Structure 1
Amino acid sequence: MEAGLGFEVAKGSEAMVDFDDDGRVKRTGTLLTASAHIITAVIGSGVLSLAWSVAQLGWVAGPTVLLAFSLITWFCARLLVDCYRSPNPTYGKRNYTYRDAVRSYLGGMNYKLCGVAQYANLVGAAIGYTITTAISMGAIKRSNCFHKHGHDAICEASNNKNMIIFASIQIILSQIPNFHKIWWLSILAAIMSFAYSSIGLGLSIAKIAEGIAARTTLTGVTVGVDVSASEKVWRAFQALGNIAFAFTYSNVLIEIEDTLKSDPPENQVMKKASNIGVSITTVFYMLCGVLGYAAFGNDAPGNFLTGFGFYEPFWLVDVGNICVAIHLIGAYQVFTQPVFQVVENWWHGRWSRRHLLTIEHVVSIPFLGDYPFSFFRLIWRILYVILTTVIAMIFPFFNDFVGLIGAVSYWPLTVYFPIEMFIAQAKIGRFSATWTWLKVLSFGCLLVALLGTCGSLQGLIHSVRGYKPFKSA
């Protein structure tokens, strides 16, 4: 992305495209589209594991950790928003990507480290969304089976088949050329996230209203009853990773900000969008985590939309899981477009004189308008979708994978780089009061991230034991 959209466009197509003063495609994003992108990125598959996470931590630590991650994410996002332009956050030079911002403020080594953390997280999120969508699609099939054949029937669904279906859809959607063109998909996905979160909340409330009290405790799952002492510790660590993953969106924040119009200033609009996005998701997260735990207690499932027994009302559970699948189709694109763009810009820079490899053909699609097409984009994006799908088939462990992604990436992308860039931008003196408390915040989040990583790795290793890759169900 650093080089901008420097590839060539087929002759005669220039008149069809409007450009900004820096020669890039004109930005048309608004507060609505930015908020939709954020909600799509934040309210992802992570919400489904929150009831399980609260169950591991209990009534005291669970909601407290949720609220703490929300406040930290919101605060650091506001710091990161001002790094879109440098050196002046309102009128400086645009940084088109998160890595560009890190390079402008912190230099080359941090730029490289940021690239590793960001793109590993984005690829990991794509894999996690593939796993989650397959689980939700399988839940629909099993709920219908239970409804038709009875609650004691043996009902199975092939996750591999569902992943292939999901991949087929993504292969088509991945041909959408850039972030600017997926605004409608993000709005649809954001609506779906509200829908399935609301359904999950409604089902939790209905389960609570049944009057059969679930067993809950102040400290979560009980040693000697639900888990062993070591399992209690590892699960608590993994819960931290799951909650961190649920609040992850900083890895695409600058890319989202780069879709906004320049008037009013991008950072002002993005701060409002972050306020809207984080506030809404925090409310939903607290409700899903707390009510989900109240409904299921210490036996809360890893995915709370698949934990209602697939019984009546089976159709409502089906609708919820359909909404999950549609939302994650959009979320996959939000997290994958930055990966597509960085590879394609590198390719176009590498082969700038090879017209056959870099030329863009503008294709007119009915009802959708003009879209640029290139053979490299077609082939590379298909291969990427196939790769993420194959990895998801090999490691289809939802909670473990989600926790690992969240724990590894939350600290560097959500906390460390935004704080370091703010210190550089504001020229805050070493060992001053502000410098000290920002460093303490960063170090505390690092410790939490390390604990979450250890817990998720232990869970993943435990899940892999005896597992046979590509099994049918």
Structure 2
Amino acid sequence: MTPVTGADDSAHNLHTAEEGKLGKDEYASPLHRDSLSRVFVQREGEEYDDDGHVKRTGTSLTASAHIITAVIGSGVLSLAWASAQIGWVAAPIGLAMFALITYYCSRMLADAYRFPTPMGPERHYSYMDAVRSYLSPWQVVACGVVQYVNMVGTGVGYTVTAGISAVAIRRSDCFHADTTGTAVCAISNNPWMLAYGGMQILLSQVPDFDRLWWLSIIAAAMSFGYSSIGVGLAIGKATQHDHSHGTLGGVQIGVDTSSWGKTWLVFQSLGNIAFAYSFSLILIEIQDTLKPDKGQPRTEHKVMKRATLAGIVVTTTFYACAGLIGYAGFGDSAPGNLLTGFGFFNPYWLVNLANTMVFVHLVGAYQVYTQPFFGFVESRVLRAFPKNHFVTHEYAFHVPFLGILNFNMFRLVWRTLYVCFTTVVAMLLPFFNDILGFLGALGFWPLTVYFPVQMHIAQKKVRRFSPYWIWLQSLSFFCFLISLAAAAGSIEGVVQDTKSYTPFHTNY
């Protein structure tokens, strides 16, 4: 293990030259001034991009894998339930609407990756960097709060889902091992959440997001695997004789729920669908791993748009299969989690395999959402304590399959405490659909629609009250209403669930 105390002379010279070039230029972007605090350790034999960063190697394939990993996760498992709340008419319309809105706004966000300056377009390293360049200071603060709270919440949601999938496997094994037919098979998901948290503590020590590309590839493969199994099992269930395939309007008032109950369930289902498409909060971070098209410098936005289109087409196809075929299989009584809803369905080993794939997938998905948050906190701490040995002292060591990694004590302590926090919160609030619905509501309007629209207006200098400006603002307001309704429905769901739940004790 070799100590690395900081950048070498070439990195220092780059930093000093950039400061001299900018000086107090009033046209220097906030991003460029902010990026001067980044110190890159340059090594012989490595190539570098225009910002002094080690040359990015990401492609549309790896970006699509990151998107699919982030999107096809907990969300796909809740879509059959969401479809059951709104019925055969609204469910496909809702899926198509959220897909189109997400893709439309993601294109705007991809264009915001670089900010024009007199010295050329500068990169944005995070979503907040982009907002800082184009919008006002209060919007930067609002963006940071929403984005990073959403990332933390997603970590909690993924921990809950991983625990649920592990418990589903154990219950299935328990039931089939029982020859008397009297086993209760009530199992706590707390040990499985703790095991999942332990894995995340280890993976969280990898300091660089792009070093985990292989984990995203594996996780994306798991997504296809368990989604395909779920769809196949749903088709088998839907073809059974005398089977209810759902209704045009979903769960029925007076039969399945009350009028107010139906309203809350519809709102909550919108949040679940919104969460299923939630990846905009890490789009800029994913885009910052990309190399431009060959022979076309500064075209990362084109690569990202291709990756976004591919990712959304693939995920929407899976969503339509999982959500609509799952609804056809279970009807209005569709479970909150598609794979756990098959219960002790035979072949039970296939259901167990699917839930194992869910667990493995969520190991990778957690990192896709969490690494940007780690980077945000650590860059702020480094800036605040640039001479603190605990924060800055680095050790370089070789890890099989990952190459040379840097290690320091601050990362070890801070990242471990963070994973412990998300694990404990997940154990306190293990409510699958309610948590997903609230996260979808929290992130959909501000991160997927509002900020991309406002940055696009600023970037393209869209004239106020022009037809195009009115269209963009109307879209934003419509999505705000959807998020508001989804949040209300999810909060109501949490209130109802807590009435019959004892923290750390209730089994499933």
- Give the TM bin, normalised by the shorter chain: over 0.9
Q: Which residue of 2 aligns with 1:199?
A: 229
Residues of 2 paired with 1:293 and 1:330: CA distance?
28
% identical equivalent positions: 53
The alpha carbon displacement at 1:429 in A equals 0.4
Retained in 1: the 8 A contact 2:280–2:448? yes
User: For residue 263 of structure 2, what is the aligned residue in structure 1?
Assistant: 233
Counterpart of 1:164, as a letter, is L
Q: Would the alpha carbon gap of residues 26 and 359 (structure 1) be closer, same or farther in structure 2, given more than 3 Å must change?
A: farther
The aligned residue for residue 475 of structure 2 is 441
Shift in Å, 1:87: 2.7
- The equivalences for 1:54-453 within 5 A come to 54-87=83-116, 92-149=121-178, 153-264=183-294, 265-453=299-487
Measure, in 2, the Cα distance between the counterparts of 1:208 and 1:238.
Answer: 25
Output the TM-score relative to the length of structure 2: 0.89
Compute the displacement of 1:176 (Å): 1.1
In structure 2, the partner of 1:51 is: 80
Largest Rg, 1 or 2: 2
How far apart are residue 240 of structure 1 and its match?
Answer: 0.4
CA distance in 2, matches of 1:470, 1:146: 23
Q: 1:471 to 1:18 in 2, by over 3 A?
A: farther
- Distance, in Å, in 2 between the alignment partners of 1:390 and 1:335 is 18
Closer/same/farther in 2, CA of residues 8 and 424 from structure 1, 3 Å limit: closer
- 1:63-92 Cα distance to aligned partner (Å, 9 max, x none): 11111001000100011000000138xx61
Q: Structure 1: how far apart are the matches of 2:46 and 2:361?
A: 30
Corresponding residue number in structure 2 for 1:14: 43
* Distance (Å, rounded) in 1 between the aligned partners of 2:194 and 2:37: 32
Shift, 1:223, TM fit: 0.8
Contact 1:5 1:24 in 2 (8 A): no
User: 1:399 corresponds to which letter in structure 2?
Assistant: N
- Indicate the RMSD between aligned Cα atoms, in angstroms: 1.6
CA distance in 1, matches of 2:87, 2:339: 20
Report whether the alignment pairs 1:32 with 2:61. Answer: yes
CA drift at 1:408: 1.4
Judge conservation of contact 1:52–1:304 (CA < 8 Å) in 2: yes
1:410 is displaced (CA, Å) by 0.5
Q: In 2 relative to 1, CA 4–369 (structure 1 residues): closer, same or farther, beyond 3 Å?
A: farther
Kept in 1, the 8 Å contact 2:226–2:358? The answer is: yes
Q: For 1:209-247, what per-residue CA distance to the aligned partner results, in whole angstroms no more than 9, with x for missing partners?
A: 222312511100011111111111100000000100000
Helix, strand or coil for the counterpart of 1:260?
coil
Partners of 1:270 and 1:115 lie apart in 2 by: 22
Q: Distance in 2 between matches of 1:137 and 1:227?
A: 30
- Take 1:266 and 1:121, find their aligned partners in 2: how far apart are those partners? 25
Q: CA deviation at 1:153?
A: 2.8
What is the CA–CA distance in structure 1 between the aligned matches of 2:400 and 2:492, rounded to whole Å? 51
> Which of 37, 41, 65 pairs up with 2:70?
41
* C-alpha contact (below 8 Å) 1:37/1:334 kept by paired residues: yes
Matched residue type, 1:312: N
**d(CA) in 1 for partners of 2:75 and 2:449?**
19
Superposition TM-score, scaled by structure 1 size: 0.96
Structure 1 CA distance for aligned equivalents of residues 86 and 312 of structure 2 = 22
Contact 1:6-1:348 within 8 A present in 2 as well: no
Separation (CA, whole Å) in 2 of partners of 1:457 and 1:366:
45
What's the CA shift string for 1:263-303, capped at 9, x where partnerless? 44100100000010000000110111110100000100000
